Amino acid sequence: MLGVKVSAAFIIALLFSAIVGSLHFEVVYAPTDISGVISSDTTWTQTGSPYILTGNLLVESGVKLTINAGTTVNLGSYYIMVNGTLVARGTSDNPIVFNGGSLTFTSSIAAWNEQTQSGCIIENAILTTTISSENTVKINSNTINNALTVTSDSIVTNNNIKGNVNGGTISGNNITGDVFAQDIFSNYIIGNVGGSTVSNNYIKGRVGANGNCVIFNNTIIGDTTSSADKAGIAVSSAYIGASGYPKIENNIIANNGVGIRVGVLIRSWFSVDIHEIRNNLIVQNGVGIQYSISRQEPWETNQTIIESNTIAKNAIGIKFMDTAQECQIVNNNIQENTNYSIYLHQTTDDVNITNNWWGTTDQSAITNLFYDYYKDFNLGKVNFIPFLTAPNPNAPLISSFVEPSPSPSPSPSTPSPETTPTPTPTQEPQQTEQEIIIGVVFAVVVVGAGLGLLIYLIKRK
């Protein structure tokens, strides 16, 4: 009889386990409504999530708000203003989610300190929230689907950003939007760029610079279907003799209306300096280099140096809009440009462009590469003798440029949108209250039926 009882109990236990095991239970977190002032150190957790702003929220000076991994914050149309410290650190597999609204760091925040790893930081989060800061913050390894404005000493690194970025040191990001900052390096950018130092980026757009700037070792790919005057690198109002001057070196510049456009303004009350364009590969543009000078009064200057570049396969190699007397063009490979290698627009002065390689040693053929006096008697002449009898080996090779595909991939060190897709801010689906009640009732019914069957079998024996 005991054996029968055990067998019946065993059967019921198996039945119960199978039914209950088939049910789907999840941890359900109750939402937390919040607004007003946080006046003491506070931690937001995943179990209290989502935190829903019902009004604007202030983190007071000297107070820390810590947001743990997996937490969701729904800002709606409200903002969080931080006067103290915000530490929002998720993980790569359990990010924090900020939805909507704006997040503002004021000048009184606890500024981020990279050495002590302390201060305001947002890391491993997904945001559709606008971020702005008046003091140093660190924005690291996030997905940001909105604009970002921070101070010049803030750190913005290893993010996927869809929106304009202003300020900070911008490095290792994948950005779809315009970027204007002090230092911009090792990013993949689809948009226009402006900064004091722009280096080692892959840019699908244009770079603008003024005065003292360094544009170094970038790949800058434009769009020849856009306006013909759009420049890959545009240096405007570059004062010869100002406190600084542009250096444009070791870049690949292709598929633009103008590869490099330089506008030089000469003012007599400045001391004299030089700006330099060296070792660039300038290919497949409408115009390789376009150069113009504006004088406020006569003044002798040192020359702009255009040296050891490869200027090839453009419609026009170099175009002078006016005088070229302050321009020294030497040791370049200027070849295979489809219309002209040198084009004088309104240049009535003779232009000295000696010691360059023109793709041939035939002097008659070289002369035909110029649009000058011999094409229009109102223009000056291009003096090109002596010339190089072979390509300058120190200039970039044409073969180092690879025609980009519609979605070119940057170097392995640069984040790529093809390999790092942008996640969409979402919450894990949760069971509704009705679903939970139904599940509990069903489980109780099953347990009751099982116990009733067990008692029946025992009594029967």
What is the chain's pLDDT, residue by residue, as a tens digit (461 residues)?
A: 444 444 555 555 555 555 545 555 455 567 999 999 999 999 999 999 999 999 999 999 999 999 999 999 999 999 999 999 999 999 999 999 999 999 999 999 999 999 999 999 999 999 999 999 999 999 999 999 999 999 999 999 999 999 999 999 999 999 999 999 989 999 999 999 998 899 999 999 999 876 678 999 999 998 655 555 689 998 765 554 445 577 899 999 999 999 998 876 555 444 445 578 999 999 999 999 998 876 555 555 556 789 999 999 999 999 998 776 668 899 999 999 999 999 999 888 899 999 999 999 999 999 999 999 999 999 999 999 999 999 999 999 998 776 655 443 333 333 333 333 333 333 333 444 444 444 544 555 555 655 665 565 566 55
- What residues does 197 pair with on adjacent strands? 183, 214
pLDDT at 422 (0 to 100): 37
Residue 441 located in a structural domain: yes
Which residue is associated with the tokens 């226009």? 192
Instruction: Find the Cα–Cα–Cα–Cα dihedral 156, 161, 164, 167, rounded to 10°.
Output: 0
Together in a domain, 236 and 383 = yes
State how far the Cα of 295 lies from the Cα of 265, in Å rounded to an integer: 6
Together in a domain, 42 and 18 = no
Residue 230 located in a structural domain: yes
Cα atoms found within 13 Å of the Cα of residue 151, Cβ hemisphere only? 16
Together in a domain, 454 and 390 = no
- What residues does 122 pair with on adjacent strands? 88, 139
Residue 116 located in a structural domain: yes
Task: List the structure tokens of 289.
Answer: 């280099």
Domain encompassing residue 166: 35-178
> How many domains, the chain?
3
| Strand, coil or helix: 97 | strand
Residue 312 located in a structural domain: yes
DSSP code, position 293? E
Together in a domain, 387 and 276 = yes
pLDDT at 299 (0 to 100): 53
Together in a domain, 54 and 104 = yes
Together in a domain, 117 and 18 = no
Listed in sequence order, the residues at least 6 apart from 68 whose beta carbon sits closer than 8 Å to its beta carbon are: 43, 44, 45, 46, 89, 90, 96
Examine the fold and report which residue of 385, 405, 425 is the final residue of a domain before the chain moves on.
Answer: 405
CA angle 24, 28, 34 (to 5 degrees): 165
Together in a domain, 19 and 45 = no
Together in a domain, 397 and 251 = yes
CB distance 94 to 69 below 8 Å: yes
CB distance 372 to 384 below 8 Å: no
Output the pTM of the full model. 0.80
What ranges make up the beta strands (E) of 339-455?
340-344, 351-352, 370-371, 382-383
Together in a domain, 226 and 313 = yes
Residue 353 located in a structural domain: yes
Residue 197 located in a structural domain: no
Q: Using alpha carbons, list the distances in angstroms from residue 310 to 249, 286, 334.
A: 12, 15, 6
Together in a domain, 55 and 143 = yes
Residue 51 located in a structural domain: yes
Together in a domain, 124 and 44 = yes
State phi, psi for 47 to the nearest 5 degrees.
-70, -20
Residue 6 located in a structural domain: yes
| Strand, coil or helix: 365 | helix
pLDDT at 291 (0 to 100): 87
Together in a domain, 281 and 174 = no
Examine the fold and report which residue of 363, 383, 405 is the final residue of a domain before the chain moves on.
Answer: 405
> Exposed (0-12), middle (13-18) or buried (19+): which is 412, by Cβ within 10 Å?
exposed
State how far the Cα of 114 lies from the Cα of 322, in Å rounded to an integer: 50
Q: Using alpha carbons, list the distances in angstroms from residue 440 to 47, 78, 434.
A: 21, 38, 10
Treating both helix axes as pointing N-terminal to C-terminal, what angle do 2-22 and 433-460 enclose, rounded to 10 degrees? 170
Q: In this structure, which amino acid lies at residue 114?
A: E
